[in-house]
Amino acid sequence: MSQGKLIVKPLGRSVVPNALASHFKLDIETIDKDEFPNFEQKFPLNQVPVFIGRNGFKLTEAIAIIVYLTNLIEDEKTKSVLLGANAEEQAQVLRQLSFTNSELIDTFAKFALILIGKAPFNKKLLDEGVAAFQKRVAVLEDRLSEYTYLATESVTVADLFAAAFFALLFTMVYGKDYTDKHPKLMRWFNTVIAHPILAPFINKSAFLEKSVEAAPPKKEKPAKQAKKETPAPKAAEKPAEQPAEQQKKPKHPLEALGKPTFVLDDWKRKYSNEDTRPVALPWFWDHYNPEEYSIWKVDYKYNDELTLTFMSNNLVGGFFNRLTGSIKYMFGCLVVYGENNNNGIVGAVMVRGQDAVPAFNVAPDWESYEFSKLDPTKEEDKEFINNMWAWDKPVVVNGESREIADGKVLK
């Protein structure tokens, strides 16, 4: 008989309980919250993680579960390293677990939801939230300027818990522009996420390149709104640092294909500024040259691992950020269809030339996607491209019609 059941989601406060059970091969059954019958009736706050042991022993609260699971580890030495070896160390571990669970996560939740558009846009609340969060990060950095780890001289569960939280932060809101400014934090973070307990649970390829920028809340038609707000940049409007960088960089392989007659920036502007169905798409098909550009159906390979739709959309955002080096040769949309814990990513992307690889392989995670060439002379394929780019109808996946929850334009 197993020692109990651990009910989790594959992110947030569940990561460390999950990682401990897995790494130490604890005799515990891990169950996704959505697979657990009547979860909310049994746990009215509807929150994970939850541990259900033998003889009616139950735990909620991540900190309690982490400490309990660590105490199930047989090796006493490992246990005392992870939880602290004496009363002072144990108190410091609890202190840092608590700091992450309330000070960091709660402060973060308030402003992050605004940033990702899941809470009403309010500049004052956002600014206050960011400032409050930064104050707390500064407290951690203060500690890390003198010590390698948060609570003791070794990696404890407090480090694992905090690093798992920062991994969420770097997947949801903050990118390289933030991490570059926090070298002490990042030195610690990179060490802790490489720890064998945590490493298998961290997906570095999902970390954002650029931080999410504050934007007014989405209106009725998110796709069109987003398009109108950010007209396609003209070459001259590209960020100032680019020309100098470009001179140093070797030429993109697609440069060798020469100048096409179909001017991508013209199309991007049309798409951004005109109504998609009545104006932009007819313009596109009038001007499209299949010898210069190919169009690909793009499918995410690991839809089964996706959880919340906004996380899937962040994944797309991260992928698009990593495609920046090829953006001159590409245009397309990827959408997230379905709902939380049952969603997928699909889309259509046009690239210069007849091969998808040279355009996509600038992104380290390009192999997480499958590319199948579309043939716009076939009505079915043309319709698929129109639907992906107009993004206004449900998408048919395996014969099933699925609502589009979110999406992003690559332009």
Ligand X SMILES: N[C@@H](CCC(=O)N[C@@H](CS)C(=O)NCC(=O)O)C(=O)O
Distance of CA 35 to the CA centre of its chain: 23
For the stretch 295-332, what's the b/e string if a residue is b when 16 or more beta carbons lie within 10 angstroms of its beta carbon? Answer: bbbbbbeebeebbbbbbbbbbbbbbbbbbeebbebbbb
- What number of other Cβ atoms are within 10 A of residue 49's Cβ? 25
Nearer to ligand X among residue 64 and residue 396 (C-beta): 64
Nearer to ligand X among residue 336 and residue 374 (C-beta): 336
How buried is 109 (Cβ within 10 angstroms: 0-12 exposed, 13-18 middle, 19+ buried)? middle
Nearer to ligand X among residue 225 and residue 340 (C-beta): 340
Residue labelled with tokens 């720890």: 195
Looking at beta carbons, which residue is closest to ligand X? 12
User: Could you tell me which residues come within 8 angstroms of residue 261 by beta carbon, excluding any fewer than 6 positions away?
Assistant: 289, 292
- What number of other Cβ atoms are within 10 A of residue 294's Cβ? 20
CB of 9 to ligand X, least distance (A): 5
For the stretch 217-252, what's the b/e string if a residue is b when 16 or more beta carbons lie within 10 angstroms of its beta carbon? Answer: eeeeebbbebbeeeebeeeeeeeeeeeeeeeeeeeb
Nearer to ligand X among residue 51 and residue 293 (C-beta): 51
CB of 66 to ligand X, least distance (A): 9
CB of 257 to ligand X, least distance (A): 47
Nearer to ligand X among residue 34 and residue 383 (C-beta): 34
Nearer to ligand X among residue 166 and residue 329 (C-beta): 166
CB of 188 to ligand X, least distance (A): 22
Length of the chain: 411
CB of 35 to ligand X, least distance (A): 13
Helix (H) or strand (E) holding 23: helix 15-23
Residues that bind ligand X (CB under 6 A): 9, 12-13, 33, 46-48, 61-62, 101
Distance of CA 217 to the CA centre of its chain: 19
Nearer to ligand X among residue 101 and residue 314 (C-beta): 101
CB of 49 to ligand X, least distance (A): 6
CB of 168 to ligand X, least distance (A): 9
